[in-house]
């Protein structure tokens, strides 16, 4: 649901782990919050329930869960879709999500250098200094995004952009692109022709077709749903191969899966139960 300056979305999921869980995440996404109010862009709550009894189990802040599970999804995608010799990455968007993306990628790729780009150069410079120290590899703030991406094996876009800023001419053969920012129908980061020239792997195909960069390519008529290679789950499960050559450009269209939220919430809940942490609350009168 949209408001004047942002919007709210709800993600729901059922997942069978050590017990059946239901999760519902309500997130507000307001891109101007940091500048206008000094507040985070994303705020919300995640409610975890017992899916066998219907009992509420936990209420959690959803911001960090969203940040971490989004970065983790990129890392899983990179494991299967990036070239094994990938050493250089460009991060477009130097906020909290950008930081998580770099740290997640460093778990699965032996990164040797990172380029950092943001419309606010001061932000990318701060990002570069912080991540250079944290990761022990050179992270360089850049102002020429296209030049940086052409030198990169991996590119992550995690911005609130409503206009595409990456085109096919900016991408070298063999690049893996994680398109993370377009998590609502109004957002867009990749030109439709770039999508058309790439192997596309969606997190959820149906969802990407209406709110990811994919939906702009579909609307432009440069590809159809039949042209999409598949979902990341198909690749991880071994039903489809991931990267098939060092030359292909692969786009992971990441719009965010409810099951990721439920899995992360269940993990945290079970850990809190074991450690006896958290605040006990009774909603009964």
240 has catalytic annotation:
no
- CA Rg value for the chain: 19
199 contacts 171 by C-beta, under 8 angstroms: no
103 contacts 71 by C-beta, under 8 angstroms: yes
Which of 182, 171, 186 is CA-nearest to residue 213?
Answer: 182
Helices within the chain (DSSP H only): 33-36, 63-81, 96-108, 121-135, 145-150, 192-196, 205-211, 213-220, 232-236, 258-275
Q: How many residues does the chain have?
A: 285
From residue 64, alpha-carbon distances to 43, 70, 97, 219 in Å are 9, 10, 10, 33
* Other CB atoms within 10 Å distance of the CB of residue 268: 18
CA distance 223 to 204: 17
Q: Which residue of the set 11, 25, 96, 187 is catalytic?
A: 25
> What are the catalytic residues?
25
């Amino acid at each position: 649901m949209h408001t004047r300056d942002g919007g709210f979305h709800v993600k729901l999921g059922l997942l069978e782990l050590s017990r059946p869980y239901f999760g519902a995440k309500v997130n507000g996404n307001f891109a101007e919050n940091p500048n206008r109010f000094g507040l985070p862009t994303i705020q919300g709550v995640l409610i975890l329930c017992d899916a066998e009894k219907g009992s509420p189990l936990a209420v959690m802040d959803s911001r960090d869960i969203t940040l971490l599970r989004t970065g983790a999804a990129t890392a899983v995608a990179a494991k299967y879709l990036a070239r094994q010799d990938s050493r250089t990455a460009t991060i477009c968007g130097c906020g909290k999500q950008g930081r998580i993306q770099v740290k997640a990628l460093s778990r699965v790729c032996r990164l040797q250098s990172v380029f950092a780009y943001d419309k606010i150069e001061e932000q990318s410079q701060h990002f570069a200094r912080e991540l250079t120290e944290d990761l022990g590899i050179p992270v360089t703030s850049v102002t020429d995004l296209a030049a940086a991406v052409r030198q990169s094996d991996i590119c992550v876009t995690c911005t609130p952009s409503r206009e595409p800023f990456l085109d096919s001419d900016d991408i070298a053969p063999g690049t893996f692109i994680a398109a993370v920012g377009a998590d609502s129908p109004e957002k867009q980061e990749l030109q439709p022709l770039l999508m058309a020239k790439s192997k596309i792997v969606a997190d959820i195909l149906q969802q990407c077709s209406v709110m990811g960069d994919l939906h702009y390519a579909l609307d432009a008529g440069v590809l159809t749903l039949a042209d999409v290679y598949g979902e990341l789950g198909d690749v991880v499960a071994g039903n489809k191969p991931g990267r098939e050559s060092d030359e292909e450009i692969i786009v992971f269209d990441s719009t965010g899966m409810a099951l990721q939220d439920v899995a992360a919430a269940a993990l945290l809940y079970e850990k809190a139960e074991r450690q006896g942490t958290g605040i006990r609350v009774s909603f009964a009168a």
